Amino acid sequence: MEDFTIKTRLTIKEYTRVMYVGLYKKPIFIFATLLGLYLLTIVLLDYLKVIDYYTDMPIYDIVIGIFLLLAPSVIVLISIRQFTSNPSFQNEMTYTFSDRGVAVKGLTFNSDFLWSHIIKQKEFGKFLILYHSKKFGNFIDMTTLTEDQLEFIKSRVGKK
């Protein structure tokens, strides 16, 4: 396929959504949230005298319940803070795809990734994330790609 170039800009709102969807796709986060809701519901029902579950004030259950509910949001807030602290992420990125790999150009940087260095891909909503390490990847807006271009990218990821 002939080389092609697209431009993408990831907003904070889109990044936040991708982070929440990514976290809540993992069963452990779903379980932790449900457990947190359960603990706080039992405490509330006991406080309202609907049930008689606790003999003393359930401080431990309240703290654990709140922690389990807020942990995903804290993770997302930390990620957003890192996202907003790097001005490169808030500007338009230009991606050039070729048979050799992907060239990424931002406001203050240029990067080249061989296809063999992109270890996995994931789709989240309208984004295709090309991971070049376990924690870092590039967000490609799939709405800017043709079907052939998308298939080209997907066929290259993971090939050595």
For 93-103, what is each residue's pLDDT tens digit?
Answer: 999 999 999 99
DSSP-derived pairing of the beta strands 120-124 and 127-131? antiparallel
Q: Report residue 125's pLDDT band, with 50, 70 and 90 as the boundaries.
A: confident
Residue 27 confidence (pLDDT): 96
Q: Report residue 35's pLDDT band, with 50, 70 and 90 as the boundaries.
A: very high
Number of other residues whose CB lies within 10 A of the CB of residue 85 = 9
How many whole angstroms separate alpha carbon 14 and alpha carbon 70? 20
Longest dimension (CA), the chain: 72
Mean pLDDT of the chain: 90
Average pLDDT of 131-159? 88
Tens digit of each residue's pLDDT (9 = 90 or more) over 133-146: 888 888 899 999 99
Residue type, 44: L
**CATH for 4-9+87-156?**
2.30.29
Q: Report residue 83's pLDDT band, with 50, 70 and 90 as the boundaries.
A: confident
Question: What pTM, to 2 d.p., does this model score?
Answer: 0.76
User: H or E element: which one contains 129?
Assistant: strand 127-131
| Distance set, CA 27 to CA 20, 30, 64 (Å) | 13, 5, 18
- Six-digit token string for 20: 């929440």
Delimit the domains of the chain by residue range. 4-9+87-156, 13-85
Name the 3-class secondary structure at 114: strand
How many whole angstroms separate alpha carbon 54 and alpha carbon 148? 61
The phi and psi torsions of 6 (rounded to 5 degrees) equal -130, 160
Q: Report residue 159's pLDDT band, with 50, 70 and 90 as the boundaries.
A: low
